[in-house]
Amino acid sequence: MTLPTLPPDVDEIVPGVVADRRYLHENPELGFDEHVTSKFVVERLEALGAEDIQSGIAGTGVTALIHGTRGEGKCVLLRADMDALPILEETPVEFASQNPGVMHACGHDGHTAMLLGVARILTERRDQFPGSVKLCFQPSEEANAGGAKPMIEAGVLENPHVDACFGQHVMSDRPTGEVWVGGGPIQASADMFTITVQGKGGHGAIPHTAIDSIMVASDIVSGLHKIVSRNIDPLDPVVISVCSFHSGTAFNVIPDTAELKGTVRTFSPENRDLAEKRLKEVAEGVAAAQGATVTIDYDRGYPPTINDDAMSALAAASIAKIVGEDNVKPMVPIMPAEDMSYFLEERPGCYFMTGCGNEEKGIVWPHHHPRFDLDEDVLGIGVAALAQVAIDYLNAES
């Protein structure tokens, strides 16, 4: 596809953004261990003349401010995640990971490099906006004990008070040049559960004297799969998956315990509450009916990522200025969770998906794959798009 013509100031810095991305790609670090990355980000921000640079937030997080010269105004937060994954890289690129077993296989190297590019553009365009831009480089998105929540708890949404949040994720299954934007729920929540069934052990040949934990747990698995089909509105999707089932050690012993582990994914707070409530009722009820008991450990992970409608409309209009209206696509929700959700729970905003796939270049591998790569042509597009969103937001009425 034809790539958009970038604004001249963005076009000029693209080689620098590419170089930053390659440096970050070569030096990937796992969540909360982004020390080299964080230091690199701070050095770049210092060189640019960004203000109020703060590091060590929630471990390795970094924030900085860029003040516009058009007077007082709102504050918009732009967020990038910095962490890599525990994957042994298998790409042929010359800037492959120098840290064996750790790889930027989700494009967060691109996110970080692009936000540094945005910082560079906005420091040069201070005369185009009032208020301020808060740059937020977040540790650990991948671990599901992510960096967004502790950064918020550390106060990144205040001083100055943040009014809206924006960010982007590259997507290798969508072509470079297209951007996917839309309001409403865009990514699912990710909760985890462990159900331990306590029955009564016994001889495999004398089952009537035992309470068979395997059979109780099997019935619970079967019951859990009925929650989605019978209790959940089919127009608001939910996934409940039991992904681990452990019990027993011998062919002739009925085990007294069984353990189930799984995940629950939802797109709305209402369904999230309902799925948790029903899961507990089903597990407890099924166990009670057979004389067993259960202990349930239900652990809430990332909430659903929900974009604000008005902020998404604003972002779509801004991004259209960069890639053209035809290349702004309506957002298609995806099941994987994302801790940008915490920012969007606290403030209105929009998280959009920037295509980074390119079949001609062989950039077709999915995220979290050892051969994942991003088409570097996305970098300039992402910089121009996010900078435009920030400028338009700060100049908007109200």
- 3-state SS class at 86: coil
- 3-state SS class at 85: strand
- Alpha-carbon gap, residue 143 to 203, rounded angstroms: 42
Nearer to Ni ion, 106 or 220 (CB): 106
The site that binds Ni ion (CB under 5 A) totals a number of residues, namely: 1
Span interacting with Ni ion, options 82-90, 100-108, 248-256, 352-360, rule CB under 5 A: 100-108
Structure-block tokens of residue 133 = 């831009």
> Which of positions 249-308 make contact with Ni ion (CB under 5 A)?
none
Nearer to Ni ion, 106 or 258 (CB): 106
- Alpha-carbon gap, residue 144 to 111, rounded angstroms: 18
Catalytic residue among 141, 178, 338, 376: 376
Nearer to Ni ion, 107 or 175 (CB): 107
Q: Is 106 in the site for Ni ion (CB under 5 A)?
A: yes
- Alpha-carbon gap, residue 179 to 174, rounded angstroms: 8
Span interacting with Ni ion, options 35-43, 101-109, 153-161, 291-299, rule CB under 5 A: 101-109
For the bound state, the minimum distance from the C-beta of residue 292 to Ni ion, rounded and expressed in Å, comes to 40
Instruction: For residue 376, indicate whether it is catalytic.
Output: yes
Q: Is 311 in the site for Ni ion (CB under 5 A)?
A: no
Nearer to Ni ion, 13 or 170 (CB): 170
- Alpha-carbon gap, residue 46 to 25, rounded angstroms: 21
For the bound state, the minimum distance from the C-beta of residue 108 to Ni ion, rounded and expressed in Å, comes to 6
Taking CB atoms, the residue at the shortest distance from Ni ion is 106
Catalytic residue among 142, 302, 338, 393: 302
Instruction: For residue 302, indicate whether it is catalytic.
Output: yes
CB atoms within 10 A of CB 88: 11
Q: Is 45 in the site for Ni ion (CB under 5 A)?
A: no
For the bound state, the minimum distance from the C-beta of residue 52 to Ni ion, rounded and expressed in Å, comes to 27
What is the 8-class DSSP label of residue 365?
A: P
**Strand positions, DSSP E, 267-337:** 293-299, 305-307, 328-330
Element holding 105 (H helix, E strand): none
**Strand positions, DSSP E, 68-107:** 75-81
Spacing of C-alpha 16 from chain mean position:
26
Active centre residues (catalytic): 302, 376
